[in-house]
């Protein structure tokens, strides 16, 4: 099966004949089934990528809140899901998404860092490895398993200079006082940038490509701020209706952005390192 085509993969996992295939990239294709439905066929970039993504999608879907594409199957190399027909973002859909996202977070996780049931401990966020090691104390867990591993990688690469690292290390040391009120582990999408939020033609909002794990709900919201989201103010209005956020959240956005910014620094270079350093400086002024 090493040279299997996306069309063959789709037929294998859905049990249906295929009428067409369209390659979108080297790792992604749309495949049309004989009954007219379209599925997405994705080739994993890492040994556990398809496994982690499939487990994450199923865990998020189990909450019955935000719409999640159905997983038709996966193996060590491939993942097949339903295709989402996209439309135009609207304020009403954004408010509904906010309410659904709040409910998703409230469905919880067994611990900070907990992987989805059946998912691997060694997972991914985008192309970067991400270890789902559990902890009961969010500030300590966030520092040890989300910020510092990527800071060390960025320093080793030279993307963050060794003389710059202490400002981020100081944030980690002060996390217990900077983090705000303690909260229970939330069920996070984990990679909630705008590209993973699909505004469906059905008027609903759909989530794809998770790096799902148990975490702090403000981390997902900080990702929406970081990379932009249509009608974000309405998303937050809807969220607050269902699960009001702790006072001071806007001041903590940079704190929660440290993790994705350092991941991007490792993957994409110095520009994101500079943003991470600025976020750290901002967090220290809370």
Query: Could you list the active site residues?
Result: 191
CB 21 within 8 Å of CB 28: no
Q: How far apart are CA 215 and CA 221, in angstroms?
A: 12
Q: How far apart are CA 183 and CA 141, in angstroms?
A: 13
Long-range contact pairs involving 170-173 (C-beta distance under 8 Å, separation at least 24): 170/280, 170/284, 171/147, 171/255, 171/258, 171/280, 171/283, 171/284, 172/143, 172/147, 172/148, 173/143
Three-class secondary structure of residue 214 per DSSP: strand
- Give the chain's radius of gyration (CA, Å): 19
Element (H, E) at 53: helix 49-62
Q: How far apart are CA 255 and CA 284, in angstroms?
A: 9
Q: How far apart are CA 142 and CA 125, in angstroms?
A: 15
Burial (Cβ within 10 Å: 0-12, 13-18, ≥19) of residue 213: buried
CB 130 within 8 Å of CB 149: no
Backbone angles phi, psi at 19, to 5 degrees: -110, -10
Q: What is the DSSP letter of 83?
A: P
């Amino acid at each position: 099966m090493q040279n299997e085509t996306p069309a063959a993969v789709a037929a294998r996992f859905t049990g249906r004949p295929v009428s067409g295939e369209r390659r979108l990239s080297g790792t992604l294709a749309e495949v049309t089934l004989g009954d007219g439905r379209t599925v997405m066929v994705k080739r994993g970039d890492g040994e556990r990528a398809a496994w982690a993504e499939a487990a994450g999608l199923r865990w998020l879907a189990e909450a019955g809140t935000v719409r999640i594409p159905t997983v038709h199957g996966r193996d060590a190399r491939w993942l097949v899901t339903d295709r989402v027909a996209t439309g135009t973002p609207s304020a009403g859909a954004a408010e509904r998404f906010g309410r659904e996202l709040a409910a998703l977070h409230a469905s919880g996780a067994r611990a900070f860092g907990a992987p989805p049931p059946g998912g691997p401990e060694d997972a991914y966020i985008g192309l970067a490895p991400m270890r789902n090691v559990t902890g009961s104390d969010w500030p300590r867990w966030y520092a040890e398993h989300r910020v510092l591993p990527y800071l060390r990688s960025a320093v080793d690469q030279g993307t963050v200079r060794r003389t710059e690292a202490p400002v981020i290390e100081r944030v980690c040391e002060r996390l217990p006082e900077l983090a705000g009120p303690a909260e229970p582990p939330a069920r996070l999408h984990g990679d909630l940038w705008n590209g993973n939020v699909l505004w469906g033609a059905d008027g609903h909002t759909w989530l794809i490509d998770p790096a799902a794990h148990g975490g702090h709900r403000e981390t997902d919201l900080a990702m929406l701020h970081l990379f932009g989201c249509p009608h974000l103010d309405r998303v937050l209005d809807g969220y607050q209706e269902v699960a009001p956020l702790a006072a001071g959240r806007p001041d903590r956005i940079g704190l929660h952005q440290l993790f994705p910014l350092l991941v991007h620094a490792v993957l994409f270079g110095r520009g994101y390192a500079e943003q991470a350093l600025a976020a750290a400086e901002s967090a220290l002024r809370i």
